[in-house]
Amino acid sequence: MHETAEQSGRLSIHRSITADICVLVLSGEIDADNVGLLAEALQIDGNGPVQLVLDFSAVTFMDSSAISALAAARRDATSAGGWIRMAALTAPVQRVVEIVGLDTIIPCYPTLSQALLP
């Protein structure tokens, strides 16, 4: 298991890889000021797994810039033969995801454990 942590402003991202799945544990707020950190963490470089699970259990706010980054990550993962899943969305994040329909293209799971199941 490989683990790294990145932090920018109000957003922190802890990354680990297990069973060929990259897990990103996000915490804080995701907005236009720090979405670049999220977009960088979501990049598929061809050397690592193309299965991504994002844990939103500690995300308190997310704006449209995050939606764009997630939609692009879904496109890239799918193009590479992989997938992306979101887990443990907090109420404010779930509301945004449902309003814009992101949950129709990226599967959402109540818990991280459920998102990691095959």
Per-residue pLDDT tens digits for 74-105 = 999 999 999 999 999 999 999 999 999 999 99
pTM of the model: 0.89
**111 pLDDT exceeds 80?**
yes
pLDDT of residue 68: 97
Contacts of 104 (CB under 8 A, 6+ apart): none
**4 pLDDT exceeds 90?**
no
pLDDT of residue 19: 79
pLDDT of residue 5: 57
Q: For residue 117, what are the CA distances in angstroms to 20, 75, 92, 107?
A: 12, 21, 25, 12
pLDDT of residue 45: 73
Structural domain range at position 32: 2-115
Local structure of residue 104 (DSSP, 8 states): G
CATH number, domain containing residue 52: 3.30.750.24
Model pLDDT for residues 12-56, shown as the tens digit of each residue: 999 998 878 999 999 999 999 999 999 999 998 777 668 999 999
* Torsion angle, alpha carbons of 6, 11, 17, 20, to 10: -130
* Cα gap 90→73, rounded to integer Å: 20
| 52 close to 84: Cβ distance less than 8 angstroms | yes
In the chain, the number of structural domains is 1
